[in-house]
């Protein structure tokens, strides 16, 4: 099968597309891939590193208020459609897969106009603007949250597929995460992470609670600061003193392995993070970023909270004391932790990539 992948802007859009492409190549080594993204988005770096051919289309997003810039965006969109049609005619894909981000707009729209079967994947509980626009043109929509199916009333077909990035953490070998951190086997680990770039509010909270981490008896805290916050956070914590109970790192290249060895996760609630957390059945404290479109991270988080798989801490209520108290209470209540773990696993879709692969096969047959 020949497949065009498209999605960009954030890792939350890029990695699901890459996961689908890699899965298709695993089940059929003759699968040919082409990724269409933007030249200035992180996909231009991530995708070639995965040995997937990459082509660029230039596009920007719409402003939410009327402006001259939106007129320019419409012109860019039309040029992007023309460029996409040329790339599609040259590559001759059997199906086009879009995972969100502005670049999906012209690519999937162009595919639909050329009569090429299209599949779009929505990672968040509240759909993004691009996927909402494309829903009337796509042949099939896969969603990561069951409640999202009703968000696409004009779609031809919608199914609950889960998020394909979950398969990565399931392949992680237990024990390797602890080993990479220089911690002995059997260490009880609480992982705190504010996303790939870090989160200022979470850094401030961890700095505040650092001197009191001894309250989490028997638990080692690993805090991923984000590169830009690492040096300042490290210096302030050294001044306050956190003892032997805290490991500070700027970034984790082996996040899947460390997640696999964690007992509790404190995290933002991006769709990919939640897919990994539920796949491993990890109890979590979720602190949604308030600085995202349509506040979709809070909607993502509440999906887990309502199922009993996580606890919610809004950023407006976040402090070192509130976070430490929540962590301490959970870590002392093994019965609650076990119940949350079971609830998380019931939300997981470990065969997400396989579900999407089957949908793509059916689309290819329908040509």
Q: Tell me the DSSP string of 226-238.
A: -GGGHHHHHHHHH
Separation between Cα atoms, residue 198 and residue 228, nearest integer Å: 8
- For the four alpha carbons of 153, 158, 162 and 163, in that order, the dihedral sign comes to negative
CA torsion through residues 97, 103, 106, 110, sign: negative
Tokens of 113: 């106009």
The verdict on whether residue 132 carries a ligand-binding annotation is no
Element (H, E) at 142: strand 140-143
Query: What three-state secondary structure class fits 223?
Result: strand
Q: What is the pLDDT along the chain (367 residues), one digit of tens a residue?
A: 999 999 988 888 999 999 999 999 999 999 999 999 999 888 999 999 999 999 999 886 655 555 566 667 788 889 999 999 999 999 999 999 999 999 999 999 999 999 999 999 999 999 988 999 999 999 999 999 988 999 999 899 999 999 998 887 888 999 999 999 999 999 999 999 987 677 899 999 999 999 999 899 889 999 999 999 999 999 999 888 777 789 999 999 899 999 999 999 999 999 999 999 999 999 999 999 998 878 999 999 999 999 999 999 999 999 999 999 999 999 999 999 999 999 999 999 989 999 999 999 999 998 7
Q: Which 8-state DSSP code applies to residue 72?
A: H
The answer to whether the Cα torsion of 103, 108, 113, 115 is positive or negative is positive
CA 41/CA 58 separation, integer angstroms: 10
pLDDT (0 to 100) of residue 168: 78
CA distance 1 to 47: 19
Q: Looking at residue 326, what is its pLDDT? A: 98
At residue 63, the pLDDT reads 55
Q: Provide the 3-class DSSP secondary structure of residue 115.
A: coil
Residues 125, 163, 261, 183, CA torsion sign: negative
Domains identified in the chain and CATH numbers: 2-163+350-365 (3.40.50.2000), 169-347 (3.40.50.2000)
Tell me the sheet residues that pair with 98: 6, 120
What's the pLDDT at 195?
76
Reported pTM: 0.86
Question: What does the pLDDT read at residue 274?
Answer: 95
> How far is residue 102 from each of residues 9, 142, 279, 292, measured CA to CA in Å?
8, 18, 28, 15
Give 345's contacts (C-beta < 8 A, 6+ positions apart).
278, 281
Residue-level pLDDT at 12: 87
185 is in an annotated binding site: no
CB atoms within 10 A of CB 246: 20
Binding site annotation covers 196?
A: yes
- The answer to whether 297 is annotated as binding is yes
Q: Is 12 annotated as a binding residue?
A: yes
179 among annotated binding-site residues: no
Strand partners, 96: 4, 118
Q: Which residues face 140 on adjacent strands?
A: 119
């Amino acid at each position: 099968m020949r497949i065009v992948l498209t999605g960009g802007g954030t890792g939350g859009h890029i990695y699901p597309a890459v996961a689908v492409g890699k899965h298709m190549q695993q089940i059929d080594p003759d699968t040919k891939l082409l990724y269409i993204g933007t030249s200035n988005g992180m996909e231009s770096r991530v995708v070639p590193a995965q040995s997937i051919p990459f082509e660029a289309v230039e596009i920007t997003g719409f402003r939410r208020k009327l402006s001259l810039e939106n007129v320019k965006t419409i012109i860019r969109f039309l040029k992007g459609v023309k460029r996409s049609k040329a790339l599609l005619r040259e590559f001759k894909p059997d199906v086009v897969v879009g995972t969100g981000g502005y670049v999906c707009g012209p690519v999937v729209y162009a595919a639909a106009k050329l009569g090429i079967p299209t599949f779009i994947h929505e990672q968040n509980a509240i759909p993004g603007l691009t996927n909402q626009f494309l829903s009337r043109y796509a042949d099939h929509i896969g969603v990561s949250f069951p409640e999202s199916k009703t968000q696409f009333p004009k779609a031809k077909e919608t199914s609950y597929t889960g998020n394909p990035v979950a398969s990565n953490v399931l392949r992680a070998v237990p024990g390797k995460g602890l080993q990479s951190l220089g911690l002995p086997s059997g260490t009880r680990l609480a992982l705190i992470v504010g996303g790939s770039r870090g989160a200022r509010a979470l850094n401030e909270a961890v700095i505040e609670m650092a001197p009191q981490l001894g309250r989490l008896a028997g638990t080692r805290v690993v805090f991923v600061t984000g590169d830009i916050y690492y040096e300042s956070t490290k210096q302030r914590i050294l001044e306050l003193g956190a003892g032997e109970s805290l490991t500070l790192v700027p970034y984790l290249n082996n996040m899947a392995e460390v997640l696999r060895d964690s007992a509790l996760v404190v995290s933002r609630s991006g769709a990919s993070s939640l897919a990994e957390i539920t796949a491993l059945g990890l109890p979590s404290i979720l602190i949604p970023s308030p600085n995202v479109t349509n506040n979709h991270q809070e909607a993502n988080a509440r999906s887990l909270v309502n199922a009993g798989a996580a606890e919610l801490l809004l950023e407006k209520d976040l402090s070192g004391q509130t976070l430490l108290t929540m962590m301490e209470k959970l870590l002392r209540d093994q019965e609650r932790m076990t119940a949350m773990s079971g609830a998380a696993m019931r939300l997981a879709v470990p065969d997400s990539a396989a579900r999407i692969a089957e949908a793509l096969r059916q689309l290819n047959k329908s040509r």
